[in-house]
Amino acid sequence: MGKRTLESNERKLNWGKVIIALMAVILIIVLLYFAIKGIINLLKNNENDKENSRNQNETTVSQDYQKEKNKTIEEILAEFGGQIIEQVKNDTYYVSKAGKDYTIYLDGEILDGRIIPWDGNEAKPAIDEAGNINIYSAAELAWVANQVISGEKNFSGVTITLRNNIDLGARENEDGTWDGPDWKPIIGFLDELPSKKKANEDTNLETVADEEVDITNENLKRFDGIFNGNGCKIRGMKIDNNKRYQGLFGYVSGIVSDLTLKYSKVNGGDATGAIVGLNEGRITNCIVENTDITGKEKVGGLVGISMTDSVIENSSVYENCEVIGNTNVGGLIGYVNNNVTIKSCSNGAVVRGKDYVGGIAGIAFYGTSIENSFNFSQKIEGENYVGGLVGYSAAQIEKSHNQILTENTSEIIGKNYVGGIVGLNYTMGDINECFNNVKIIILEDNCGGIAGLNNANISNCYNKGEIDCSKANGLKIGGVCGQNLSDSFIYTSYNIGDINNTDYAGGLVGADFGKISNSFCLDTCLKTQNGDTEYKKTEEELKNAILSNLGNSFKVDSEFTNSGYPILNWQ
């Protein structure tokens, strides 16, 4: 009896062990399932986060819908729902969902209602009791343009407000050509260009003359009202000619604000910009996306020419844009006259030109202020006077920088007078609290991490970008400045960027004829024994020198410090 009981207990114990083992296996399988599911969700979330980041300036009617370029309409409807009513363009559909109509673009944008592409006609818009105008369609916008073009009105004292997104009807084909109606910029002017003075060019670094536009003799008719984009977007604008002052607006002396232009083609002559060809007023809160801008001289992603006392603020040209011209080519503005205010602006467009090429402006003259602005383009490329922010500058540049913001490498490429901030910093120019961390490729001479040539003041600046001078044969290449002229000053600035493969470069300055105070370079930045050894410091010495200057020569606010100043995160 006792033996049978013992055997029974052993069998129960064995079965218990089996059950426990099975439960353990099941638990492990469940845990593995949730772990794998969690990893998959994490990967999906990471991809969604990246996608959200790339498209943070797009707006959709569905918070759950993640935009992605080059989706098919079937893929979009699988996420968004609804049924196709009509295909309007090769990338545009009207869709019905829950009794409501939407316009869907294959770039992922979904908008309320039916956005009707422009057919080239015009229609008189709604005008309220105060005489102000509300725009609901492309045809109504064309009516406004034609009033200015014909000389009927300049809309002084009138506020024009976009009440809907606008589709100007042009689309790019797979072969790169464009179809659709041509947009006539909002400007009236003579068909023939009168003779005019050319800007003086002096190889001895005399002032490059600022060039006034002859508004009277050219019979320019301007937009002088207030154009409130109201957060709306205009897409599908096609301009393709060789005329001057090309853009959505040809000539503005009023205000253009709160507007996005996207998926458009702008090809013009002199003074071409996506939003405004010739700006004499104020441009604020304007954005250009997925648009290529080409022209001859004075070409900008946003504005071609910005005249004396004009203002450009809180505006950006984003990635997937390219700005191409001959001379005076800027990611934001091609040509900047005296006393212009540029504040809180940025450029992500690739910029290509010959001379006077910059991420923000090709050229900027006396009294102009560039503040809290930056370039994050993948490439700025030219020959002479090429800068991460400005090619040739006599402006006040403050708290601005040229910085890599993506995983892709960024480059500045040029022959002569090439700098991370400016190519040439001319008399009365002032660069203060600025930095560069973008690679510079110099092909000939006068190249620096901040300025290629300094003929004014550089203070409280630093360079982290590599300077590749392997193809150069010049004597004036330096970590902060290539050449510092007499009566020019470099204060409390430093370089920690590598300079490769040259016998004559300086860790701080290539050739100094001016004054340098309290400025240094990392002793390992030069790969040869030549150069300005008196400015070299070890990492610890340089860090201590920088920290000791904080609050004295370095007057750096917390916002600027947090934007990447290596004082707080020395590596």
Q: Contact 375/350 with Cβ under 8 angstroms?
A: no
Q: Which of 33-47, 94-108, 113-127, 319-333 has the lowest mean pLDDT?
A: 33-47
Mean pLDDT of 404-427: 90
pLDDT score at 203: 42
Alpha-carbon gap, residue 361 to 301, rounded angstroms: 10
Tell me what the pLDDT averaged over the chain comes to. Answer: 84
pLDDT band at 8 (very low <50, low <70, confident <90, very high): low
pLDDT tens digits, 379-413: 999 999 999 999 999 999 999 999 887 666 789 99
pTM higher than the cut 0.75 = yes
**DSSP letters for 321-381:** -EEE-SEEEESSEEEE-TT-EEES-EE-SEEE-SEEEESSEEEE-TT-EEES-EE--SEEE
Indicate whether 58 pLDDT > 70.
no
pLDDT score at 239: 98
pLDDT score at 532: 64
Q: What is the sign, positive or negative, of the torsion defined by CA atoms of 440, 445, 448, 453?
A: negative
Q: Does domain 354-571 have CATH number 3.30.379?
A: no
pLDDT score at 192: 43
pLDDT band at 172 (very low <50, low <70, confident <90, very high): very high
Indicate whether 46 pLDDT > 80.
no
How many residues would you count in the chain?
571
Report domain extents, the chain: 73-112, 115-291, 354-571
pLDDT band at 436 (very low <50, low <70, confident <90, very high): very high
Indicate whether 219 pLDDT > 90.
no
pLDDT tens digits, 445-482: 999 999 999 999 999 999 999 999 988 877 899 999 99
